[in-house]
Amino acid sequence: MSEDEQQRQQRWRACYAESARDAAPPPLPLLEAQVGLLPTAGTALDLACGRGGNALFLAKQGLETWAWDYADAAILALQQQATGQPRLHPEYRDVLAQPPQAAAFDVIVVAHFLHRPLFPILARALKPKGLLFYETWAGPYAGRGPQNPDFRLRPGELEKAFPDLQRLIYHEESDRAAGVWKA
């Protein structure tokens, strides 16, 4: 592991270690608002799940849910909160080194995470008629989210990120972009 990679991992470990005792955040408003689109059974992935608010929500909807994150402290906190939730499977996983396999999930949720080379991989990881919910930071830094422009979407970028999927919902604000796509 490179020195940059070690520093990045330490930063995320410290970030989540501080909030390990906090309750998981609520799911994305987009996910909650579109709960009717979710299948009643199947598999889901909360990619780069952080403290797992989306994963907990998906598991409560009856989906067999995997929650992957690079920050071991986030996964440990989610494992503690997942007690009694047999449909939730938190895993420490570097999604850049181990992305999802093709046709593996009925639902994929990505929030507050951006790695552009994963766009086509995520599209392929959906099963037929699968759904992708994606929301992250956009536009120039204005006090929220990452300061590094490499981790912020350019205007209109997310809208065009999944050309092989059917766009169901899309909206973009000054500092966020979000959408739902169907395979």
The pLDDT of residue 19 is 56
Grouping H, G, I as helix, E, B as strand and the rest as coil, residue 104 is coil
Where do we find the tokens 């169901």?
168
Domains of the chain plus CATH, in order, are 3-182 (3.40.50.150)
Model confidence over 106-157: pLDDT tens digits? 999 999 999 999 999 999 999 999 999 999 999 999 899 999 999 999 999 9
Write down the pLDDT at residue 171.
96
Q: Which tens digit of pLDDT belongs to each residue from 63-95?
A: 999 999 999 888 998 998 888 889 999 999 999
CB 109 within 8 A of CB 54: yes
